[in-house]
Amino acid sequence: MNQHCSLCDITHSTFSRRSTWDSCVAELGLDFHLHHRNDAPASVTATSGYVAPCVVGEYEDGSLKLLVNANELASCENSPEQLMKIITEILSDNSESSPPL
């Protein structure tokens, strides 16, 4: 059974990954790994507040933190640029080191 996923709407078009997504990730300058609901690593799914779809950041010390929740993803209205804006704002407001996503 297919479930709607606002993160997939941001990262992919009907048939392939969006080139705008790849450009935004490259501009962000951090590693970004996408996982489907059924193949996310246990360490990611154990992150406090995890409910797919979401964005979880892994910090240099190995800790994981929820960065963007499902409602915030939906508010991006399928825009990779809007998601990167949210992530950039979160990271700039965060006193910890920037996570390699």
- 68-82 pLDDT tens trace: 999 999 999 999 999
The model's pTM is: 0.86
Beta bridge partners of 64: 58
What is the distance between the alpha carbons of residues 47 and 22, in angstroms, rounded to a whole number? 25
For 5-101, where are the E strands, in sequence order? 55-58, 64-68
**pLDDT for 80:** 97
- 76-101 pLDDT tens trace: 999 999 999 999 999 888 755 555 55
- 34-65 pLDDT tens trace: 999 899 999 999 999 999 999 999 998 999 99
